Each structure stands twice: as C-alpha cells, then as structure tokens.
Structure 1
Amino acid sequence: MSGTEKTKAQVEQAKGKAKEAVGRAVGNERMTAEGHADQAKGNARQAKEDVKDGLRRH
C-alpha cells in the first residue's frame, strides 16, 4: 500500500470514529451515521490498496 493512500485511509477511519462518538454523545443520529460512513470509506480505500498490493506481489 502506498504511504499516501495508507495515511488517507487511516485518517478517514479515525475521523469517522471521532464523528460517530461525538454524534452518539450528543444524540445526533445524522452525525453518527456520517461517522459510520466515513469509516466505511476509509475501510474501502484500505481494502482497495490491499488488493493492489496483492496483485503487485504476484
């Protein structure tokens, strides 16, 4: 996984976790959902890069 994409994925996941936690703490369902969506985007980005890395090794 390239360093830049790996970092982007981790930042997106962390941002999503924080947003989800704040949303839950204040009772804001929309913010909680947005946080969950941000985490999913980060996970998808990481999975895409993992597939690319796997293809490069073969």
Structure 2
Amino acid sequence: MPEQLQQLVAPIELYPDVVVAQILVAANDPVDIVAADRGAERRSAVSDTDGRRRATAQV
C-alpha cells in the first residue's frame, strides 16, 4: 500500500503546498475546471487574433 500511495502522490509532491491546495479544491468540482479551461482557450484565441491584427497594422 505505501508504494501505491507514493506512485499516486509522486507527480504532485514537488509543487508548493499552496498550489496543491488549489488543485485539491478545484478537483472537488470538475465542472469549474472544464469552465476555466474553456475560458483560458477563449482568452488565448482572442489574444492570438488581437496580436496578429496589431502586428499587421504595424507593418
């Protein structure tokens, strides 16, 4: 059992406690995680489009 536990926590054990706490809170409501991911994708798409428009305008 301790070996299985070690395998489970190994990927996150190097993160700061504050980050792990936020991940654990977010993991309680996966719908919010999906919504945040979609929002980040939308912001990224807007930023990319805006960046291209600005670059084109400067040329």
Q: TM-score range by the shorter chain?
A: 0.5 to 0.7
What does the per-residue CA deviation read over 1:3-43, in whole Å, with 9 as the maximum and x for residues that have no partner? xxxxxxxxxxxxxxxxxx5x851511111100111011111
When residues 45 and 39 of structure 1 are mapped into structure 2, their CA distance, relative to the original with a 3 A threshold, is same
Bigger helix share: 1
Q: Which has the larger radius of gyration?
A: 2
User: Given residue 53 of structure 2, which amino acid in structure 1 is its aligned partner?
Assistant: K
Identity, % of aligned pairs? Answer: 3
- Can you give the 5+ residue segments of structure 1 that lack an aligned partner in the other structure? 1-20
| CA drift at 1:50 | 0.1
User: Given residue 50 of structure 1, which amino acid in structure 2 is its aligned partner?
Assistant: G
Give the aligned length: 37
When residues 29 and 55 of structure 1 are mapped into structure 2, their CA distance, relative to the original with a 3 A threshold, is same
Q: Does 1:43 align with 2:44?
A: yes
User: Given residue 46 of structure 1, which amino acid in structure 2 is its aligned partner?
Assistant: S
Q: Does 1:25 align with 2:25?
A: yes
Q: 2:55 is paired with a residue of what secondary structure?
A: helix
- Can you give the 5+ residue segments of structure 2 that lack an aligned partner in the other structure? 1-21
